[in-house]
C-alpha cells in the first residue's frame, strides 16, 4: 500500500492524537520511537507540515505539546558557539570528509556516555513531560551524522515521551536508506508510521 504524501501526513496526524501513542502504550513494552519515512522529493511539504504543527497542543485535553527539533540546526549552532565552523570547512578541504565526520562526531559526543550527547542534552532540556518530539534535519546531517547513531543513542536514555524521526528515505523496519541512495545502517527498534 503506497500512500501519497498528503495521506501519509494525515495518518501521522491521526496517530499522534491517539491516547496509546501519547502514553507509549501498546508497543509490547518498547520505547515509543517512530520513523516517518518519506520520499526526499517531498521534503518541502514535510518541512511545511512540521512548521504547522510545531508548538501545537494535542490530545483529548490538548495537554500535550508538539516539539520539533531540527538536529542540523542544533549541530550548526553548537559548532558555531565553539568556533568550529570555519575550521570544519578547512578540515574537509585538507583532510577529507572522513576526518571531518570523525571530528564532528567527537565534538557532538556521539560516542560518549549517552547523557553527554549534545543532541540528547538539547532535546531533553527542551522537552516538557507531556509532549511528542519530532526530530527533523536528518537529510541535512547526512553524511556527518547518521540517523541510526542518533536513534541508538537517544533510544537508550530518552524514553519519557514518544519520538518521531522524520526520515527522507526509506525505512523497511530493518534498515534505513537515506535519501533513497545510501543504506544508512540497520535499525530495528523503531516503529514505522
Listed by start position, the domains of the chain span 5-192
Q: CA triplet 57, 61, 65: central angle to 5 degrees?
A: 25
pLDDT band at residue 24, thresholds of 50, 70 and 90? confident
**pLDDT over threshold 70, residue 156:** no
CA distance 117 to 111: 8
Q: Cell numbers at residue 51, please? A: 512548521
pLDDT band at residue 1, thresholds of 50, 70 and 90? very low
What's residue 26's pLDDT? 55
CA distance 15 to 59: 11
pLDDT band at residue 30, thresholds of 50, 70 and 90? low
What's residue 45's pLDDT? 97
CA distance 160 to 175: 25
Q: Cell numbers at residue 109, please? A: 559526543
CA distance 57 to 131: 9
pLDDT band at residue 43, thresholds of 50, 70 and 90? very high
CA distance 82 to 118: 13
Compute the average pLDDT of residues 106-117: 74
Q: Cell numbers at residue 148, please? A: 541510526
Share of the chain above pLDDT 70, in %: 89
Amino acid at each position: 500500500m503506497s500512500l501519497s504524501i498528503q495521506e501519509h501526513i494525515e495518518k501521522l496526524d491521526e496517530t499522534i492524537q491517539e491516547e496509546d501513542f501519547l502514553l507509549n502504550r501498546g508497543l509490547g513494552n518498547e520505547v515509543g520511537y517512530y520513523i516517518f519515512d518519506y520520499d526526499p522529493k517531498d521534503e518541502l511539504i514535510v518541512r511545511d507540515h512540521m512548521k504547522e504543527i510545531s508548538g501545537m497542543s494535542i490530545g483529548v485535553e490538548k495537554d500535550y505539546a508538539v516539539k520539533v527539533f531540527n538536529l542540523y540546526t542544533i549541530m550548526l549552532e553548537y559548532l558555531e558557539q565553539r568556533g568550529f565552523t570555519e575550521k570544519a570547512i578547512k578540515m574537509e578541504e585538507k583532510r577529507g570528509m572522513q576526518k571531518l565526520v570523525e571530528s564532528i562526531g567527537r565534538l557532538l559526543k556521539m560516542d560518549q556516555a549517552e547523557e553527554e550527547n549534545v543532541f540528547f542534552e538539547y532535546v531533553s532540556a527542551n522537552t516538557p513531560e507531556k509532549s511528542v518530539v519530532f526530530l527533523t534535519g536528518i537529510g541535512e546531517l547526512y553524511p556527518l551524522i547518521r540517523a541510526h547513531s542518533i536513534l541508538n543513542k537517544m533510544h537508550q536514555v530518552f524514553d519519557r515521551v514518544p519520538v518521531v524521526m522524520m526520515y527522507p528515505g526509506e525505512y523497511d523496519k530493518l534498515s534505513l536508506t537515506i535519501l533513497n541512495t545510501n543504506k544508512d545502517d540497520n535499525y530495528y527498534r523503531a516503529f514505522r508510521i
